Amino acid sequence: MISRREILAMAGPASAWLASNATAFPAPANPRRMGGAPTAFALHMRASRSGGPPFDLVEHCHNIGLAGVQTNPPSTDPEAIKKFRGRIEGYNMHLICDPRMPRQKSEVDAFDLQVAAFKEAGASAFHAALTGRRYEDFDSFEPWKKMFEGVQASVELAEPVLRKHKMRLGLENHKGYRSAEQAAWLKRLGSEYVGVCFDFGNNLSLCEDPMDTLRTLLPYIFFAHIKDMAVEEYEDGFLLSEVDMGEGMLDLKQMVQTLRQKDPNMIFELEMITRDPLKIPVFAPKYWATFDDSYSPLAGRDLAKTLVLVRKNRPKKPLPRIAGLSPEEQLKSEDQHNLKCIEYARQNLDM
Per-residue pLDDT reduced to its tens digit, 263-284: 999 999 999 999 999 999 999 9
CA distances (Å), 240 to each of 15, 169, 233, in order? Answer: 35, 27, 9
In tens, the pLDDT along 311-341 reads 999 998 999 999 999 999 999 999 999 999 9
Arithmetic mean of pLDDT over the chain = 92
Q: What is the CATH number of the domain that holds 211?
A: 3.20.20.150
Sign of the CA dihedral with 308 first, then 314, 315, and 319 last = positive
Q: At what angle are helices 141-165 and 108-120 packed, to 10 degrees? A: 50
Cβ atoms 53, 79 nearer than 8 A: no
Pure H helices in 263-321:
300-312
* Cβ–Cβ under 8 Å, residues 268 and 256: yes
pLDDT tens-digit readout, 11-36: 443 333 223 333 444 555 665 689 99
- 30 Ramachandran zone, left/alpha/beta (phi>0; psi -120 to 50): left
pTM to 2 decimal places:
0.91
Pair type for strands 68-70 and 267-270: unpaired
The predicted structure's pLDDT at residue 29: 63
d(CA 337, CA 340): 5
Q: How many whole angstroms separate alpha carbon 232 and alpha carbon 244?
A: 16
Structural domain tally of the chain? 1
| Mean pLDDT value of segment 216-223 | 98
pLDDT at 32: 61
Please give the Cα distance from 209 to 42 (Å, whole number): 27
Among residues 42, 58, 56, 55, the alpha carbon closest in space to that of 94 is found at 58
Amino acid 186 reads L
pLDDT band at residue 144 under the 50/70/90 scheme: very high
Query: Residue 152 — very low, low, confident or very high, per pLDDT cuts 50/70/90?
Result: very high
Residues in CB range of 339: below 8 A, 6 or more apart = 64
User: Pairing relation of β-strands 267-270 and 35-36?
Assistant: parallel
Q: Domain range holding 114? A: 4-348
Facing residues of 238 across strands? 233, 280
Q: Are 320 and 241 in contact (CB under 8 A)?
A: yes
Provide CB contacts within 8 A for 295, sequence distance 6+: 141, 145
pLDDT in tens, 276-310: 999 999 999 999 999 998 899 999 999 999 999 99
Residue 256 has pLDDT above 60, yes or no: yes
CB contact at 8 A, 342 and 66: yes
The pLDDT tens digits for 27-60 are 556 656 899 999 999 999 999 999 988 999 999 9
Beta bridge partners of 278: 240
List, in sequence order, every residue forming a beta bridge with 268; answer none if it has no partner: 224
CB within 8 A of 69, min separation 6: which ones?
35, 36, 57, 58, 61, 62, 88, 93, 94, 95, 96
Please check whether residue 227 is in contact with residue 201, taking contact to mean a CB–CB distance below 8 angstroms. yes
Q: Residue 265: what are its φ and ψ, rounded to 5°?
A: -100, 20
Q: Is 125 helix (H, G, I), strand (E, B) or coil?
A: strand
Query: Smallest Cα–Cα separation from 345: which of 64, 88, 98?
Result: 64
Residue 214, pLDDT above cutoff 70: yes
Rounded distance, CA 286 to CA 351, Å? 40
Tell me how far apart the alpha carbons of residues 254 and 241 are, in angstroms, rounded to a whole number.
20
| CA pair distance 224, 295, nearest whole angstrom | 27
Packing angle, helices 327-348 and 42-49, rounded to 10 = 150
